Amino acid sequence: MSTSPSISDQLSGQQSVSPDAINKLRSHLLERVNRLNEIGVALSSMRNTDMLLETILMGAKALTHADAGTLYTVTDHETLKFQILRTDSLNIAQGGTTGVAIKLPELPLYRHGKPNLAMVAAYTAIKGQTVNIPDAYEADGFDFSGMRAFDKAMNYRSKSFLTVPLKNHESTLIGVLQLINSLDQESGEIKPFSPEDQQLAESLASQAAIALTNQRLIADLKELFESFIRTIATAIDDKSPYTGGHGNRVPILAEMLAKAAKESDLGDLKGFNPTEDEMYEIRIAAWMHDCGKVVTPEYVVDKATKLETIYDRIKTVTTRFEVLKRDAEIEYLNNKVAILSSPAAEQQAQLALIEQAFNERLAQLDSDKKFIIETNRGGESMSEASQDRIKQISRYRWRGPDGKEEPFLTENEVYNLCIPKGTLTPEERSIINHHVTATKKMLNTLPFPKNLKRVPEFAASHHETMNGKGYPDGLVREQMPIPARIMAIADVFEALTASDRPYKPAKSLSASLKILGFMKKDQHIDHELFDVFIRSKIYRTYAEQYLDPSQIDEVDESQIPGYVP
């Protein structure tokens, strides 16, 4: 091991050397320092970990003219993991961007609870000191048996070693840089790593540690941010058993469609070429698109039937039917007793009439009860005739617990049972729709970084339509960026194919595409993105992964409304 004098000491020690030689040395050092600065600048701008690690090692090799090198990172279980491995003369390149996995085992920092000081890289990691070995075959105190076996097998000579610790700003070890065989630039012979080499390597290691720490910090913050977003989306889904998974599936569809749109040259999509940052922005917006539902009351979100509030009032209504049937039976029996008191000649005909009327009354009440039970479930549409029948039934009279006669259905029950589509009243639908306004308001209060500035706009536009009849702002197609239009299709298709909605059974794939096609024709969704969605078979890819097999039927694209194959 050696310690190195400073570069200024080297220069001051050249007093007996000619001025030309000193100037040449200074020029050489300046060139290497400039190279070090260039590498430092490159490290500070890199975002890909593999490229960063590779640049650190390759930069160190270039600065010290090393033939080989290895970059290790420290693991949580106290080992050194091989990340990048290079040996130029043997044409060995593993790890990093090569795609070639390093199959060497991790180096333990401790064996049986004791520091593993026999291995150079482990020694440097544990001691936090640079180790500079002129000739490994003559060095004492380290175990180079593995190196000797490698040299013999590969006909190589591992001679000079320079092993440098990588420490972050808190002096915590995060990795080790090891360089092997410094080559003389004129003769090509192996030489020891000079004090100058060591200083440059240590300087690079310091910059590299900062770059790695910054990248890890950014990655950790990004993971925390994404985990927080996923937690919110999952919490909203968990808020209701009927929307479980919606917040997770919409981002999947949005990303599928965004990637397909990027490859398309159809109309407006010709210029749609989102960067990695912009794709990330779309993904985050998709995760956050329903965050406003956190303020939506559960009784509205969970309203599975028209009469549901705290409980499903259909039970109360069906009980009233039983009361009417009981009253009808009492009336029938009272009439029967009266008839049996009349002259015998008239009894048979009168009994037959009241029995027929009684049976007809029971049949009518059973039919009405069945009708109301079916109506209460909601559906895609309800005819005016059905609404009129509800109003007719409401006019029945019955006596409540207080003995007073009152209408069979209350005004609120009639209002809810006459909902033409789904299970929500206009007022409840307005409450549901408010979640978009809440989403927009919530997201606009967050200090998104520059690369995520449009998340609120994208997320809050998933219920806008191309014809300006959507909400919350009534935007038209030209006012909506492509990612916002993508969000709308992803949200609609997930809702159509979802099997967990309270007011409808799971739709088949072909039925969902048919509805989507009509929405395209009605200018509810973007026509170009709709075509890409079908043409790229996104619906099929999504269905095979996320739909129940019973929903996946044959799709004849020529029969999808608004689509031309």
Q: Which amino acid is at 317?
A: V
Closest to 87 (Cα-Cα) out of 153, 29, 34: 153
Is the separation of the CB atoms in 108 and 116 below 8 Å?
yes
Higher-pLDDT residue of 174 and 542 is 542
How many other C-beta atoms are found inside a 10 Å radius of the C-beta of residue 488? Answer: 24
Q: Which residues pair with 107 in a beta bridge?
A: 80
Q: Are strands 107-108 and 79-87 parallel, antiparallel or unpaired?
A: antiparallel
What is the predicted pLDDT for the residue at 494?
93
Confidence bin at 21 (pLDDT 50/70/90): low
CB of 211 within 8 A of CB of 49? no
Q: What is the mean pLDDT of residues 518-538?
A: 96
CA atoms of 84 and 443, how far apart (whole Å): 41
Q: Give the pLDDT of residue 6.
A: 47
Residues 6+ apart with CB under 8 A from 180: 66, 67, 68, 69, 70, 87, 158, 159, 160, 161, 162
Q: Which is more confident, 193 or 3?
A: 193
Q: Give the tens place of pLDDT for each residue, 300-315.
A: 877 889 999 888 999 9
Per the rule left: phi > 0, alpha: psi between -120 and 50, beta: everything else, 541 is alpha
Residue 297: its pLDDT value, please?
Answer: 85
Look at 503 and 340; give whichever has higher pLDDT.
Answer: 340
Q: Is the backbone peptide bond immediately before 472 cis, with ω within 30 degrees of 0?
A: yes
Partners of 132 in the β-ladder: 162
pLDDT at 195 over 60: yes
For residue 62, the tally of other CB atoms under 10 A from its CB is 14
Give the confidence band of 538 by pLDDT, cuts at 50, 70, 90. very high
- pLDDT value, residue 20: 67
Gap between the Cα atoms of 327 and 337, Å rounded: 15
Whole-Å CA distances, 520 to 68, 387, 443, 529, 565: 61, 30, 29, 10, 15
Residue 26's pLDDT band (boundaries 50, 70, 90)? Answer: low
- Measure the CA–CA gap between 84 and 86, rounded to whole angstroms: 7
Rounded to an integer, the average pLDDT of 166-194 is 91
The two structure tokens encoding residue 124: 């440097």
Q: What is the pLDDT of residues 200-237, one digit of tens each?
A: 899 888 888 888 888 888 888 888 988 888 888 778 77
C-alpha distances in angstroms, 17 versus 24, 195, 282? 11, 19, 64
CB neighbour class for 390 (10 Å; exposed up to 12, middle 13-18, buried from 19): buried
* C-beta of residue 486 within 8 angstroms of C-beta of residue 536: no
pLDDT confidence of residue 231: 86
Average pLDDT over residues 256-276: 94
Q: What is the pLDDT of residues 400-417, one digit of tens each?
A: 888 889 999 999 999 999
What is the average pLDDT across 105-126? 94
> What one-character-per-residue DSSP string does 21-64 give?
HHHHHHHHHHHHHHHHHHHHHHHHH---HHHHHHHHHHHHHHHH
Percent of the chain surpassing pLDDT 90 = 64
Categorise residue 166: left if φ over 0, alpha if ψ from -120 to 50, beta otherwise. beta
pLDDT digits (tens, 9 = 90+) for 348-398: 888 999 999 999 999 999 999 999 999 999 887 899 999 999 999 999 999
Query: Which amino acid, residue 304?
Result: A
Beta strands in 222-303 (DSSP E): none
Strand, coil or helix: 371: helix
SS3 303: coil
Q: Which residues contact 184 (CB under 8 A, 6 or more apart)?
A: 65, 190, 191
How many whole angstroms separate alpha carbon 91 and alpha carbon 96?
15
In 3D space, the residue among 153, 151, 177 whose CA is nearest the CA of residue 163 turns out to be 177
3-state secondary structure of 193: coil
Q: Residue 387: what pLDDT?
A: 96
Cβ distance 95 to 101 under 8 Å? yes
E-only strand ranges, 267-354: none
pLDDT tens per residue across span 67-96: 999 999 999 999 999 999 999 999 999 998
150-159, 227-236, 253-262, 277-286: least confident range? 227-236
- Which pLDDT value is given to residue 503? 55
Is residue 116 within 8 A of residue 109, CB to CB? The reply is yes
- How far is Cα 307 from Cα 18, in angstroms, rounded to an integer? 101
pLDDT tens-digit map of 269-295: 999 999 999 999 999 999 999 888 888
The tens digit of pLDDT for each residue in 440-452 reads: 999 999 999 999 9
Q: For the chain, what percent of residues have pLDDT higher than 70?
A: 90
Of the candidates 496, 537, 539, the one whose C-alpha atom is nearest the C-alpha of residue 518 is 496
What's the mean pLDDT in 97-110? 93
Residues 6+ apart with CB under 8 A from 289: 247, 250, 439, 458, 459, 460, 462, 487, 491
- Calculate mean pLDDT across residues 495-522: 86
pTM of the predicted structure, to 2 decimals: 0.70
SS3 163: strand
pLDDT for the residue numbered 185? 86
Question: What digits encode the pLDDT tens for the residues 417-441?
Answer: 999 998 999 999 998 889 899 999 9
3-state secondary structure of 466: coil
Q: Is the pLDDT of residue 14 over 50?
A: no
Contact between 362 and 325 (Cβ < 8 Å): yes
Distance CA 168, CA 73 (A): 12
Q: Which of 16-25, 149-158, 227-236, 373-382 has the highest mean pLDDT?
A: 149-158
Instruction: Write out pLDDT tens, residues 466-490.
Output: 999 999 999 999 999 999 999 999 9
186-211 burial code (b ≥16 CB/10 A, e <16): eeeebbbbbbbbbbbbbbbbbbbbbb
| CA separation for the pair 224, 230 (Å, rounded) | 10
pLDDT at 37: 65
pLDDT at 4: 44
Q: What is the mean pLDDT of residues 152-159?
A: 95
Alpha helix positions (H), 240-343: 246-263, 276-288, 298-301, 314-340
Mean confidence (pLDDT) of the chain: 88
3-state helix, strand, coil in the chain (%, to 5): 55, 10, 30
